[in-house]
Amino acid sequence: MSIDSSTTLYCLIGNPIDKSLSPLIHNEMFRIFGKNSIYLAFNIEENKLRDVIDGFKAINVKGFNVTIPFKKTIIRYLDGLSPEAEILGAVNTVKNQDGKLIGYNTDGEGFYKTLRNNDIDVKDKNILLLGAGGAAYGIGITLSTKGIKSIYIANRTREKAVNLEKEIKKINPNISTSIGDLSLREINKKDIDIIINATSIGMYPLENLSPIELNGFDKKTIVYDIVYKPRETKLIKEANLRGFKAINGLSMLLEQAILSQKVWFNLDEKFLEKAKKVEGLLLVYVE
């Protein structure tokens, strides 16, 4: 990588970002696409978020990604939202358009694309969604547009689960929804087709924990943990031991990153397919 006065800056903000693979992914994509750009990661304190965004404008950062815990709070500091980000109420990608910072969300479509890549049809399926943060918003609301039958939102904070349930109902009032906590006391586990972990439980520094136990679920249940490092979270390990189909978050990470590059550079499908070459490189870095 050659850095000069014409090099453009892209980055990731969040807390923590120590284990993030985003710099590896995006810098490799810049190489593949022949872009004179560099991607860095910054660990940000919440009380400094406005200062950071003002600084990005001042130094003309061309785009950035947003991760835990800022996917919703970032919205108040942006100049505008894409239609999907406005619907989802969460942002993971920001583009600098002539000095205006516009928020996008590639989480939901990135997640849904991985389901299709794994030949998983969500039509008429019952979903158990663990978490109600920014990633859960992207996933839950996107799935509500794809023909699912029902969604049960389990979250430690009931208020956040209620808010997500309301947003899903706005998009599709015909979906059966219910909420509860991670104990899952009120759920009929045998009815669940797909479990999605959209919490941070399982990633550093919580890698020795699992958000739920898998006792009582039918073996047809698919377990999808969006945590990608470690590649085998405690939840994924248990799913494998029980013979469930299990998917980790690495493919979602790559798909949402590819969509972020599409936002930043208006890339067509031909270029996006080339980005899939990054997947082999990622496997080397994920334990």
Q: What CATH number does residue 83 fall under? A: 3.40.50.10860
Please tell me whether residues 98 and 114 are part of one structural domain: no
Please tell me whether residues 237 and 114 are part of one structural domain: yes
Q: Is residue 265 part of a domain?
A: yes
Please tell me whether residues 47 and 165 are part of one structural domain: no
Q: Is residue 221 part of a domain?
A: yes
Q: Which domain, by its residues, includes 258?
A: 8-105+251-285
Q: Is residue 183 part of a domain?
A: yes
Instruction: Give the number of other Cβ atoms within 10 Å of residue 163's Cβ.
Output: 18
**pLDDT at residue number 134:** 83
Cα(142)–Cα(240) distance, integer angstroms: 27
Q: Is residue 207 part of a domain?
A: yes
Please tell me whether residues 145 and 203 are part of one structural domain: yes
Q: Is residue 3 part of a domain?
A: no
Cβ contacts of 54-58, under 8 Å, gap ≥ 24: 56/96, 56/101, 57/96, 57/99, 57/101
Q: Is residue 2 part of a domain?
A: no
Using CA of residue 125, residue 221, residue 225, residue 165, what is the dihedral sign?
positive
**pLDDT at residue number 206:** 86
Query: Residue 71 catalytic?
Result: yes
Q: Which amino acid is at 152?
A: Y
Please tell me whether residues 51 and 173 are part of one structural domain: no
Cα(278)–Cα(275) distance, integer angstroms: 6
**pLDDT at residue number 46:** 92
- Residues with Cβ < 8 Å from 136, sequence gap 6 or more? 129, 130, 153, 155, 164, 198, 199
Q: What's the structural domain count of the chain?
A: 2
Please tell me whether residues 119 and 229 are part of one structural domain: yes
Please tell me whether residues 156 and 231 are part of one structural domain: yes
Please tell me whether residues 114 and 16 are part of one structural domain: no
Q: Which residues of 246-255 are buried (b: 16+ CB within 10 A; e: fewer)?
A: bbbbbbbbbb
**pLDDT at residue number 90:** 87
CATH number, domain with residue 185:
3.40.50.720
Q: Is residue 34 part of a domain?
A: yes
Q: Which amino acid is at 173?
A: P
Please tell me whether residues 87 and 152 are part of one structural domain: no
Q: For 239, list phi and psi in degrees, rounded to 5.
A: -60, -45
Segments of the chain scoring below 70 in pLDDT: 1, 279-287
Residue position matching structure tokens 């994924």: 236
214 token code pair: 């898998």
Catalytic residue among 35, 71, 125, 160: 71
